[in-house]
Amino acid sequence: MRPSSASQHNTQPRQMTDYPVYHEIASNEGPKMQKINDSITSLLTQVQKRDTRAAEKVVQLSSELAEIYYGVLPRDIFFTFSMNLEQHLWKQAFYKPIEVFKSVVNSPKESSKTFRGLMLVLLNKGIAFYERLIGLYEKELNVDMEKAMLVPSILHEDDFWSVSSFSNSAEQSATKQRVAVKSCSRHLISLGDLKRYKTLVEGSEDYQHARITYMRSALLWPASGHCYNQLAVVAYFSTIYCCHYADYQAYNGR
């Protein structure tokens, strides 16, 4: 008999410190993560003053911080998902630098071209990182992305794992796979955001790559609303482009 959701919840740790892996991370990776995050925050103040060397250092530290998360995230997927480490990774290593870089890229000053190039480096590194991270989930956590995207569309989440390749595993193992899939869905949102930002920086109007990535996230976790919000964002930008293109065609046709 399947345990009720309430009983499952009661058996799970409720606080961050209840997870044994928390103390391991706090003693090992934690101090370095905090130091890098603080350094990025400090350097971004200099980037706002158009310091290109500071921007170069931010790109480097972003990769270093992401690599630490790469080793931490799959260690205990219950801890990762419950503590929303996916979002911490995204905000600290990518979103925070991107927002500051955007402010200096959108400027008429000559250095804007340099910052635009550095921002593209940051985005491309981020895209490569997330693709590698999702591959790690597939390998280390046995996440079958193709099956996970297909089956939830025709089955309820509670029934999915009974027909998956993990049907002969213990309940704990099945729950672990389900949580890993949801964690992947979060990472795909971040990957889609990076692709969307890249489209903007490159001056392209083709948001197809971002849209497909958001759709993959939705297929993995249909009940999550975040992916639909991001799909609405790319739909908005695509609509603006279509309107501008139609106006351009009408103007040239006169």
What is residue 12's predicted lDDT score, i.e. its pLDDT? 54
* Nearest of 243, 239, 218 to residue 229 by alpha carbon: 218
CB atoms within 10 A of CB 178: 21
166 pLDDT band, cuts 50/70/90, is very low
Q: What integer is the mean pLDDT of 183-201? A: 96
What is residue 14's predicted lDDT score, i.e. its pLDDT? 64
Helix (H) / strand (E) containing 241: helix 226-253
Checking if the pLDDT of 113 tops 80, the result is: yes
Helices (H), 83-165: 85-89, 96-105, 112-140, 145-150, 157-160
CB 231 within 8 A of CB 215: yes
Number of H helices, E strands in the chain: 13, 0
Which residues, 6 or more positions from 171, have their beta carbon under 8 angstroms from its beta carbon?
A: 2, 3
- Residue 3: both structure tokens together: 């345990």
The pLDDT tens digits for 54-88 are 999 999 999 999 999 999 999 999 999 999 999 99
What is residue 159's predicted lDDT score, i.e. its pLDDT? 40
The pLDDT tens digits for 139-163 are 999 888 888 887 653 334 444 333 3
What is residue 106's predicted lDDT score, i.e. its pLDDT? 81
Which residues, 6 or more positions from 37, have their beta carbon under 8 angstroms from its beta carbon?
A: 65, 92
CB 58 within 8 A of CB 121: no
The Cα 84–Cα 102 span in angstroms is 25
DSSP string for 37-60 = HHHHHHHHHHHTTT-HHHHHHHHH
* Nearest of 191, 178, 186, 84 to residue 127 by alpha carbon: 191
What is residue 119's predicted lDDT score, i.e. its pLDDT? 97
Domains in the chain: ranges and CATH = 20-150+172-253 (1.25.40.10)
204 pLDDT band, cuts 50/70/90, is confident
Residues in the chain, total: 254
169 pLDDT band, cuts 50/70/90, is low
Backbone φ, ψ for residue 35 (5° rounding): -65, -45
Which residues, 6 or more positions from 34, have their beta carbon under 8 angstroms from its beta carbon?
A: none
The Cα 213–Cα 235 span in angstroms is 14
Q: What integer is the mean pLDDT of 107-122? A: 90
Whether pTM > 0.75 for this model: the answer is yes
The pLDDT tens digits for 210-253 are 999 999 999 999 888 787 888 888 886 665 544 343 333 444 55
DSSP string for 183-197 = HHHHHHHHHHHHHHH
C-alpha neighbours within 13 Å on the C-beta side of residue 134: 23
What is residue 238's predicted lDDT score, i.e. its pLDDT? 61
The rounded mean pLDDT for the chain is 83
- In the chain, the amino acid numbered 119 is M
What is residue 212's predicted lDDT score, i.e. its pLDDT? 93
What is residue 6's predicted lDDT score, i.e. its pLDDT? 42
